[in-house]
Amino acid sequence: MSRATASSTGPLVRAVGLQIGYGGRAVIEGIDLAVEAGQGLALVGVNGSGKSTLLKTLAGLLAPIGGTVEVLGTSPRSHPHRVAYLGQFHPAAGLLPLQVRDVVLMARYRRRGLLGRLRSDDHRVVAEALERVEMAQHASEPLRSLSGGQQQRVYLAHALARQADVLLLDEPTAGLDAHAQERYVSLIAEARARGAAVVIATHDVRDAARADHVLLLAGRVVAAGPPFEVLRPERLSEAFGITLVAVPHGDHHDLLETGHAHGHGERTGHDHPERQL
């Protein structure tokens, strides 16, 4: 049994009436969410809809403007070694003289403190994490020599190597090819199976559909609930500012974009080729 499942009696991530924003100015108000051990929550919306701001607030990197936020039953960042956060940007990472293995090994620093010796266990966890993202063969290569997609896999390995009970991932599939995305899906499923709570920020509706709960954002909470309730064409149209229709495809429906909504000049599939989301 995982530590998260064993030690927790309530949601691992919880927010009530949360207001988020920058510099005292609220971007979104009235956010309520709860993610239990083994559950997944997807934050869905267009660029600037508040997904990353909410994720940073859950991570404790931004202070909430109002309301309550709890991670592992207390304030965010109270348990640094039990929460992993993968941000969108790593501005200096590609410039540093770091090998791939070094980047993932940094995930173990907090467990060993300032001067504690890294153990064979740490090296094993790092090797496994690299193996799971299929980057083990690149372990001794400089990070800066890798492509963007490969670097993203290394950052995913860094998040996995923290062996955290809460995973907060901002656009985790950015730059990943189809095969790596499949791998990512199974990694997230494994993390949830061992009892981790996973929160992802994404604008990929298919990725969001795999979560237990979805929070649809557009500078406000458009909808919240299970995917089949939230990821409906009319709600997505509202959040993404485009017109969507559901088209039957085997045992599921594909969402097709047919134009811009809300007076942006709605277009038909004839003059604007339909785009699958």
Partner 1 sequence: MHQLVSPFLDNPFRQRSLLAGFLVAVACSVAGTFMVLRGLAFLADALAHGVLPGVAGALLLGAPGVLGAAVGAAAMIAGVNLITSRSRLSSDTAIGLLFVGMLGLGIVMVSRSSSFSGDVVGILFGEILGVSRRDLLQQAIALAVVLSIARVFARPFLLLCFDPEQADMAGWPARRLELLMLTMVTVCVVMSFQTVGTLLVFGMLLAPAGTGALLARRVPAMMAWAALLGCASVYVGLLLSYHFDLAAGAAVVVVAVGMFFVVFAVQSAQQAVSGRRADRSAVAA
Residues of this chain that interact with partner 1 (CB under 8 A) are 59-61, 77, 80-81, 83-85, 87, 90-93, 96-99, 102-103, 106, 109-110, 114-115, 142, 158
- Supply 122's token pair: 């740490």
Whose Cβ is closer to partner 1: residue 119's or residue 275's? Answer: 119
Q: Cβ of residue 156: shortest distance to partner 1, in angstroms?
A: 14
- Shortest Cβ 269–partner 1 spacing (Å): 42
- Cβ neighbours around 155 below 10 Å, total: 23
Residue with smaller CB distance to partner 1, 20 or 236 = 20
Q: Which is nearer to partner 1, 81 or 206 (CB)?
A: 81
If DSSP codes are grouped into helix, strand and coil, which group holds residue 5?
Answer: helix
Minimum distance from residue 164 beta carbon to partner 1 (Å): 10
d(CA 251, CA 269): 24
Name the residue nearer to partner 1 (CB basis): 27 or 214: 27
**In the complex, what is the shortest distance from the CB of residue 168 to partner 1, in angstroms, rounded to a whole number?**
9
Q: Measuring CA to CA, how many Å separate 102 from each of 32, 114, 220, 222, 257?
A: 38, 16, 40, 41, 43
Q: Which is nearer to partner 1, 3 or 79 (CB)?
A: 79
In angstroms, the first-to-last Cα distance of the chain is: 37
Provide the b/e sequence for 131-151 (b: ≥16 CB within 10 Å): ebbebbebbeeebeebeeebb
Q: Which is nearer to partner 1, 24 or 97 (CB)?
A: 97
Angle between helices 148-161 and 178-193 (to 10 degrees): 10
Q: At closest approach, how far in Å is the CB of 174 from partner 1? A: 15
Minimum distance between the CB of residue 108 and partner 1, rounded to whole angstroms? 10
